[in-house]
Amino acid sequence: MKRALTGMTALALIWSAGLARAEDRKLTVAVSIPAADHGWTGGVVYQAERAKTLLEAQHPGLKIIVKTSTDGASQANALEDLTTQGIDALVTLPQNSDELTDPIRQVKAKGVFVTVVDRALSDPTIQDLYVAGNNPDVGRVAGEYMKSKLQSGNVVVIRGLPIVIDEERQKGFDTAVAGSGLKVLEKQFGNWSRDDAFKVMQDYLAKYPKIDAVWCQDDDMAVGVLEAIKQASRKDIQFVIGGAGMKEMIKRVADGDTMIPVDVLYPPGMIATAMELTVIGLYDQLPVRGRYVLDATLVTKANAKTFYFPDSPF
Amino acid sequence: MSGISTKSAPTRSLPSVDLAAVAPFAALAVLVALGALVNGNFLSVENLTNVLTRSAFIAIIGVGATFVIAAGGIDLSVGSMAAFVASVMILFMNGGFGDGGLGTVATAMLLALGVGALCGLANGLTTTLGRIEPFIVTLGTMGIFRALTIYLAAGGSIAMKSQDLRALYRPVYFGNVGGVPVPILVIVAIAGLGAFILYKTAFGRHVVAVGSNEDVARYSGIRVNRVKTITYLIQGLCVAVAVLVYVPRLGAATATTGLLWELQAITAVVIGGTALRGGVGRVWGTICGAMILEIIGNIMVLSSFISEYLIGAVQGAIIIIAMLVQRSLMNRARG
């Protein structure tokens, strides 16, 4: 009780300090993120807009510019345009590490506070703050759950796209199931698309008479996988594990759906975490520099409600 | 008047027509044999119906693309258009209009056809009245339809909310009539209709005439712009029909719906023997091309000896080899 009170007082202090200073401090924060080209990035855009509204309401002098870009090259251009407008901080989820390291270095050279989200730059000395999910753990947590549930059996895997994130998740999964009784029958790419995952799953079902579980790394793809299983009326598949934390899948977990018993979190909300931390650092001069790696939390029926955002597009 | 161009075209290429038309089916047969070798399950009824059913979207869109390409045009917007039409259709069903049952589904289907036709008409009119290259016009509308879809979905997905409607509509993809899946029946119906229009009507002959030589067609009294615009309208309608079959499968439209369908449709059309420069249209060849594309993907997964990283390369190689087989067959026919 006492601790809670102190916490609240501290919060109130921070709050009032922020308000008091807000009048005379006009600051601009640029947020540069990928365009909503699939569910997860859609979630990122939603969470960034939501955080913008909340933060601008808290700090009247604060201006947040959210800019989405469809690819690495156009994001590099966007970064230049944002910098010329004069910004105090940049929160960015780079399309890819290699292409954007130098453009972000140039932003940094102008004395801007740089927060990097999700995808690490090739040169980590550029960033002041790094906020990310834990990709290897997305695979590891799924693999370990599968191991504990099945002990032995046949597993098929649907991967995303051949990029670093996918490799890290796959490695985490492979390490977790290595040496267990689980046999990975096959891995194929489903391009993080429902339609492609549906196709790959149909083909798996035609190829293998007995499959015990499916790991498809992403909740969007799980939708296609479930539909393919339903169509084939196959009873051998005990469960499917996706990942990320799409609201439909979180709801299935909460409802106790046996086909989707758990989900592994890789929340698009990390962009909002990064924005909040950046703004706290700017206004309240609290120490925020460093690396924040969010857990790949296992969402179960018991805790699913905490992770359910019915209004989010993802 | 139009008799001049239509009469001379078939007589000139008559000797090669038959084998050229058969060639894609020969390539399909070779692939089926390959599939059977790779995995015994390939020839199972379940696998084959799965694959043929899956080819429905590209096959149906391909019928429209056959018209556009035969008339010397190109439409890059079909994939985005499919996503957009699907979004509008699902949003309508979620809107609670109609009786919440069969009436709602039927109205939504009509709406989808209307939206598809309008999208196609917009492409056609901008190309003909605006006198802009169709490549540029449809590249533009491709971006517009995709962005509108993402906007409507607020970056996420648009899913059918009513489980009753989903259950009602589901058989359009998963159902069958006498053992033949509904989407395959739709392919046959659309291709039959397309073939009839292209081969048996004056309009069909005009399409081919415009594609082989626009100026000659114009001097022959063909209203070139009208013919071209209608091909885009047909393309829009075909996209809408594909959407009618697509929506009941996963009951949702997302930002990745229809991604790269335009390239697959164009590939199917070309594999089927339609010339990319226009002047020749082969509807049944296109259907065959769409099935070839889907079967290649299926064989890739069923085979166990190709690294998942190399699948794209093998798919590309198979498409090129299939085209080479066709070409050599046609050359032999010419002797």
Q: Does A110 touch chain B (CB under 8 A)?
A: no
Locus of tokens 């796209």: A161
Cβ distance A46 to B47 less than 8 Å, yes or no, reads: no
Give the pLDDT of residue B97. 82
Query: Residue B2, exposed/middle/buried by CB under 10 A (0-12, 13-18, 19+)?
Result: middle
Range of weakest confidence among A145-149, B75-79, B224-228: A145-149
Per 3-state DSSP, what percentage of chain B is helix, strand, and coil (rounded to 5)? 75, 5, 20
Nearest Cα to B298, choosing from B314, B309, B274, B287?
B314
Query: Band of the pLDDT at B39, cuts 50, 70, 90?
Result: confident
pLDDT at residue B191 tops 90: yes
Give the pLDDT of residue B14. 46
Query: Band of the pLDDT at A136, cuts 50, 70, 90?
Result: very high
Distance between B15 CA and the closest CA of chain A, angstroms: 40
Q: Where are the alpha helices (DSSP H) in B96-223?
A: 102-129, 134-152, 163-169, 171-174, 182-200, 202-212, 214-219
Give the pLDDT of residue A24. 58
Query: Band of the pLDDT at A3, cuts 50, 70, 90?
Result: low
How high is the mean pLDDT of chain A? 87
Portion of chain B with pLDDT greater than 90, in percent = 61
Give the pLDDT of residue A14. 54
Instruction: Give residues 233 to 252 of B whose Cβ lies within 8 Å of A.
Output: 249-250, 252
pLDDT at residue A82 tops 60: yes
Higher-confidence residue of A307 and A22: namely A307
Query: Band of the pLDDT at B12, cuts 50, 70, 90?
Result: very low
Q: Does A308 touch chain B (CB under 8 A)?
A: no
Cβ distance B155 to A202 less than 8 Å, yes or no, reads: no
Cβ distance B254 to A220 less than 8 Å, yes or no, reads: yes
Amino acid at A16: S
A7 vs A14, A86, A277, A309, CA distance in Å?
11, 36, 18, 26
Query: Residue B4, exposed/middle/buried by CB under 10 A (0-12, 13-18, 19+)?
Result: middle
Q: What does the pLDDT average to over B90-114?
A: 91
Q: Does B312 touch chain A (CB under 8 A)?
A: no
Q: What is the pLDDT of residues A124-133, one digit of tens each?
A: 889 999 999 8
Q: Which residues of A touch B248 (CB under 8 A)?
A: none
Range of weakest confidence among A160-164, A267-271, A276-280, B195-199: A160-164
B285 vs B21, B263, B282, CA distance in Å?
7, 16, 5
Ordered structural domains, chain B, with CATH = 3-334 (1.10.3470)
Range of weakest confidence among B6-20, B23-37, B224-238, B253-267: B6-20
Give the pLDDT of residue A19. 52
Q: Does B30 touch chain A (CB under 8 A)?
A: no
Q: Which residues of A touch B167 (CB under 8 A)?
A: none
Q: Which residues of B touch A187 (CB under 8 A)?
A: 308
Distance between A44 CA and the closest CA of chain B, angstroms: 9
Q: What is the DSSP letter of B101?
A: S
pLDDT at residue A176 tops 90: yes
Cβ distance A43 to B155 less than 8 Å, yes or no, reads: yes
A284 vs A25, A112, A278, CA distance in Å?
11, 17, 10
Give the pLDDT of residue B334. 59
Higher-confidence residue of B3 and A32: namely A32
Give the pLDDT of residue B1. 37
Cβ distance A248 to B257 less than 8 Å, yes or no, reads: no
Give the pLDDT of residue B9. 44
Q: Does A199 touch chain B (CB under 8 A)?
A: yes
Q: Using CB atoms, pick whichever of A159, A200, A220 lies closest to residue B301.
A: A200
Q: Does B150 touch chain A (CB under 8 A)?
A: yes
pLDDT at residue B268 tops 60: yes
Query: Band of the pLDDT at B11, cuts 50, 70, 90?
Result: very low
Give the pLDDT of residue A15. 56
Give the pLDDT of residue B154. 77
Ordered structural domains, chain A, with CATH = 25-133+268-294 (3.40.50.2300), 135-264 (3.40.50.2300)
**Best residue in A207, A214, A271 for a mutation probing chain B (most B CBs within 10 Å):** A207
Portion of chain A with pLDDT greater than 90, in percent = 50
Q: What does the pLDDT average to over B157-184?
A: 90
Query: Band of the pLDDT at A196, cuts 50, 70, 90?
Result: very high
Q: What does the pLDDT average to over A278-296?
A: 89
CA distance B26 to A220: 38
Q: How far is CA B268 from the centre of its chain?
A: 8
Q: Does A37 touch chain B (CB under 8 A)?
A: yes
A61: helix, strand or coil: coil
Range of weakest confidence among A7-16, B34-43, B159-168, B266-275: A7-16
Cβ distance B257 to A195 less than 8 Å, yes or no, reads: yes
Q: Does A248 touch chain B (CB under 8 A)?
A: yes
Q: What does the pLDDT average to over B159-163?
A: 86
Query: Band of the pLDDT at A262, cuts 50, 70, 90?
Result: very high
B163: helix, strand or coil: helix
Please say whether the beta carbons of A29 and A279 come within 8 A: yes
Q: What does the pLDDT average to over A217-221?
A: 90
Portion of chain A with pLDDT greater than 70, in percent = 92
Query: Band of the pLDDT at B254, cuts 50, 70, 90?
Result: confident
How high is the mean pLDDT of chain B? 88
What ipTM did this prediction achieve? Answer: 0.71
Q: What does the pLDDT average to over B167-189?
A: 93
Please say whether the beta carbons of B194 and B63 come within 8 A: yes
Query: Band of the pLDDT at B7, cuts 50, 70, 90?
Result: very low
Cβ distance A46 to B311 less than 8 Å, yes or no, reads: no
pLDDT at residue B190 tops 60: yes
Give the pLDDT of residue B2. 40
Give the pLDDT of residue A1. 46
Q: What angle do CA B228, B287, B34 make, to 5 degrees?
A: 145
Q: What is the DSSP letter of A63?
A: E
Portion of chain B with pLDDT greater than 70, in percent = 92
Max mean pLDDT among A43-47, A103-107, B3-7, B125-129 falls in: B125-129
